[in-house]
A and B are shown apart, each in its own frame.
Chain A
Amino acid sequence: MAVRARLAVLEGAARRSALSFGDARVDGRLPGGGLPLGRWHEAVGEGMEIETAAAASAFVAALTAPLAERGEVVWIMRREDLYAPGLAGLGFPAERLIQVCVRDEAEALGTLEDALGAAGVVAAIGEAESPDLIAGRRLQLACERHGATGFVIRRRLFAGEARQKGSAAATRWRVAPAPSEPALGEPGLGAPRWRVTLERCQGGRPGAWIMEKSDGPLPLRVVAELGDRQLDSPQPFHLAG
C-alpha cells in the first residue's frame, strides 16, 4: 500500500490539472475530477465515422474550446476536410487553430509529437489510424514537456475495419452522434448531441453518457448517464439456492 500511495503522489505531481466537465457524473469517473491535462487522449468513431471522423472531431473541438483560450491549438490531418466555420459554430475559437496537412501516418504522429512538445501549444489534435505503444509513449513524453494536452482522433482514410491496438492513451472516448431534442415546439434540429462512451481511463472508471453542446460557460452538458452493463463494474452474482 505504501508503494501505491507513493505512486499516487508521484503521478499527482506529474499531473498538472484536469479539465472539468462540470458534472459529477463524468468528473467522478475521471482521475483528478476531470479530463487529465498534460496527457494524451483518444477519440474513436463508429461505422462510417471511422473514415469521416465527424462526430469525434466535433466532440474533441467542443471539449478543447476552453483550452484554446489559453494558447494555440494545432490540428494535424491527412485529408483537408476540416471546416473552420463549423468549428466556430461549436464554440471553438478558430482563430486559435493552426491546421497542418501531412502526407502519411508516420508524419502525422511525428508532427503531433512535435506540436505537443512545442512552446505555446496548449493542445494538439492529430488524425491518425492507430498509434502503437512506442508512438503513444513518445506522445506522452512530448505532452509532459510543457503540459500540453494531446488528442488522437482515430481515422482511416478509406473505410474498413480500424485496427485496434493497445495504446498508452490516458483515456479513450468512443463518440457517436445521438438524436437531438429541440426545445418543445421548435422546428428543426436541436443542439448537437453525442453518445459518449469512456472506454478506457487510467486511474478512473469507464462510463457512458449522452452529452449535448451547450452555450453556457462549459462547452458540454451531460443530458443522461447511460447504464451500460458491459461498462459498469461487474456486479456480484447471486446464485439461487
Chain B
Amino acid sequence: MATERGVRRLAAVDAGAAGLGLFVGQKAADAAALAPELVIAEADPAADGQALLALADWCARFSPAVAMDAPDGLFLDITGVDHLWGGEAPIMADLAGRLAQNGIPTRMAIAGSPGAAWALAHFAPAIAAPGDEAALIWPLPVAGLRLLPADAAQIGRLGLRTIGALAALPRDQVGRRFGPEVMRRLDQALGAASEALMFRRPPSPWFARATFAEPISVPEDLARACGDIVRRLCARLEAEARGARRFDLAFHRLDGQAEQLSIGLALPGRDPAAVTRLFLPLLERVDPGFGIEVVTLAAREVETAKQKQQSLSSPISGGGDVEEISPLVDRLANRLGEGAVWRAEAFPSHAPERATKRRPPLSPVTNAGWDLERPRPVRLFRRPESIEVVAPVPDDPPLMFRWRGTAHRVRRAEGPERLGQEWWRRPFDTADPAKVRDYYRVEDEAGARFWLFRAGLYDAANPPKWWLHGLFG
C-alpha cells in the first residue's frame, strides 16, 4: 500500500487478495471494507529494488547476461545457454520451479526480442518459436508495448485496443500521431528494431558452470570445486590464447543466495594453479548455508595473451620484466586491496602533496618530472605539523624551532623556495597570499634535516605560522 496524493492506495496485491476482487490502485479504505481480514503492509520500493537486484544476481546461474527491468521484471539472455538444460522449455520450467519454491510468483515468456518477451510475459506467458512473435503479440493489449502512460491513454482513447490494431495502421500515421517513442516500442516488440539491454554485468562468453548432484558445504569440497571449475575455464582460455584480468566465482546456495568472490590479475592470465591459489584464501568467507548446488565462474576483461613458459626458480634477471613480477603483485593486491600496491609516478605539479601519482604497479612509469635540483624529503607528512619557531628577520629561516616538544637549534639552512597556490585549479579570486608557502631546508645541531615552511607572507599584525612538512633523514 502506498500513499499517493494523500490517498492510501493498494500498490500491489497477492494472489489471494486478487481473488477477493481487490486490485492495484484501489483505495485502502475501500479494500479494507471489502475484505476486513486484509493484511496491509507499507510499500517499500527501495527494498523491492534490493530484492530484484538479489534475484538478478541469483539468475546468473541460468545465464551470465541478466538485465533488470525495474520495478518487477528481469530479462535473461539465454542465447547459447539453453542447451545446457536441453532446450528452452526445460530452462524456463527449472527457473519457474525454483522461484516457486522460494515463494516468488512469476510470469515468464521466451521470445526472440526483449520487447516481444516483455509483452508475452505480462499478458500471455508463452514460448514463442522463432518467427512466431508477431502472431503471438498481435492480440495483446497496447499496454504490452511498454509505453508511457500518457501515450497508452491516448492510443486507448482512439479505440486501438490491441497491438495488432496499432501495427496495422500505416506507419507514417502512427509516427505522426503518437511520436517516435511509440514507433520505437512497436518495432522493438515486433523485432524490427534492436534494443540494448543494460545487463547487470557485461555478458561474458567466458563462463563455466558446475552443478552438483548433492549440495556441497565442506571447505575441502569448495576448494576442489573451485579448482575444477577454474581448470575448465582456463583450458578454454588456453585453447584460444587468451587471458583474463578478472575472475568472478559465485557459489549458489540451496536457499537461493549467491556468495560472490572475485579476484583481479595485474596481467591477463590463465594459469589455473595461480588463479586457484588466489581464490583459496577467499573461500573461508563463503558461508555455504544448507549447501551449495551450483558454482559458476566468469572471466572478465578477456584479452589476447601470450604467456611465456617460465621456470619456477628463475634467477634474478636483468630486471624490467613485468611478467616476472606479476604473480607477486596479484597476490598482494588481492590480499591487501588494489589501492594498497602502487608505483609512484611524477605528476607535473609543484605542490609537494600532488607531485606524485599512484599508478598500478605493472604500468610503466617515468619519473622525469621531478626536479632533482630541488631537494625533497624522504618522509613527507600527510598533514604538516605545527612548530614554534624563533625567526628574527621576517624572510629568514628560523634560528630555533620546537617540534613535538623538542627544541632544535638550526645550524644550517637553505631557502626559501616559494611555492604558491595552484590558482588555475580554483577560481582566481579565491587565490590567497596566505596560502603561499616558503620552504626552508634546515639542519639542526645533531645533523637531522627538516623541511619547514612558513605559511603566508609576513604581516606584523598576524604573525605567520610555521609548519614541518617532511624529514630528509
A residues with CB within 8 A of B: 48, 52-59, 61, 69-72, 74, 80-90, 93-103, 107, 111, 114-115, 118-122, 145-148, 159, 176-180, 182, 187-190, 192-193, 195
B447 at the interface (CB under 8 A from A): yes
Taking a contact as CB atoms under 8 Å apart, the answer to whether B377 and A145 are in contact is no
Least Cβ–Cβ distance between B324 and chain A, in angstroms: 3
Q: Kindly list chain B residues whose C-beta atoms are within 8 Å of the C-beta of A120.
A: 316-317, 319, 321, 324-325, 328
Q: Kindly list chain A residues whose C-beta atoms are within 8 Å of the C-beta of B382.
A: 80-81
Taking a contact as CB atoms under 8 Å apart, the answer to whether A83 and B343 are in contact is no
Give the size range of B's interface with the partner: 35 or more
Instruction: Tell which of B332, B365, B377 has the most Cβ of chain A within 10 Å.
Output: B332
Taking a contact as CB atoms under 8 Å apart, the answer to whether B315 and A146 are in contact is yes
A122 to B321, CA, bound (A): 12
**Chain B residue nearest to A81 in the complex (CB):** B379
Taking a contact as CB atoms under 8 Å apart, the answer to whether A99 and B370 are in contact is no
4 shortest interchain CB distances as A-B pairs: A54-B473, A58-B473, A120-B324, A84-B344
B residues with CB within 8 A of A: 310, 313-319, 321, 324-325, 327-329, 331-332, 335-336, 340-346, 352, 355-356, 361, 364-367, 370, 372, 375-382, 404, 406, 411-414, 441, 443, 445-449, 470-473
Taking a contact as CB atoms under 8 Å apart, the answer to whether A177 and B446 are in contact is yes
Instruction: Tell which of A54, A84, A89, A93 has the most Cβ of chain B within 10 Å.
Output: A84
When the two chains form the complex, which single residue of B361, B380, B449 contacts A177, counting CB atoms closer than 8 Å? Answer: B449
Least Cβ–Cβ distance between B396 and chain A, in angstroms: 13
When the two chains form the complex, which single residue of B319, B340, B343, B366 contacts A70, counting CB atoms closer than 8 Å? Answer: B319
Least Cβ–Cβ distance between B318 and chain A, in angstroms: 7
Q: A84-B367, A86-B376 are in contact. Are A107 and B336 (CB under 8 A)?
A: yes
Least Cβ–Cβ distance between B235 and chain A, in angstroms: 25
A54 to B473, CA, bound (A): 4
Taking a contact as CB atoms under 8 Å apart, the answer to whether A114 and B344 are in contact is no
A70 to B321, CA, bound (A): 10
Instruction: Tell which of A83, A102, A147 has the most Cβ of chain B within 10 Å.
Output: A83
When the two chains form the complex, which single residue of A70, A107, A118, A195 contacts B325, counting CB atoms closer than 8 Å? Answer: A118
Taking a contact as CB atoms under 8 Å apart, the answer to whether B473 and A55 are in contact is yes
When the two chains form the complex, which single residue of B319, B366, B367, B443 contacts A189, counting CB atoms closer than 8 Å? Answer: B443
**Chain B residue nearest to A37 in the complex (CB):** B316
Taking a contact as CB atoms under 8 Å apart, the answer to whether B447 and A99 are in contact is no
Q: Kindly list chain A residues whose C-beta atoms are within 8 Å of the C-beta of B411.
A: 179
Taking a contact as CB atoms under 8 Å apart, the answer to whether A58 and B441 are in contact is no
When the two chains form the complex, which single residue of A71, A84, A95 contacts B316, counting CB atoms closer than 8 Å? Answer: A71
Least Cβ–Cβ distance between A93 and chain B, in angstroms: 8
User: Can you name 10 A-B pairs with beta carbons within 8 Å?
Assistant: A54-B378, A84-B367, A84-B370, A86-B376, A95-B345, A96-B319, A99-B344, A100-B332, A107-B336, A192-B449
Instruction: Tell which of A58, A115, A119, A147 has the most Cβ of chain B within 10 Å.
Output: A119
Taking a contact as CB atoms under 8 Å apart, the answer to whether B325 and A100 are in contact is no
Taking a contact as CB atoms under 8 Å apart, the answer to whether B336 and A48 are in contact is no
Least Cβ–Cβ distance between A171 and chain B, in angstroms: 19
**Chain A residue nearest to B377 in the complex (CB):** A86
Q: Kindly list chain B residues whose C-beta atoms are within 8 Å of the C-beta of A100.
A: 332, 336, 340-341
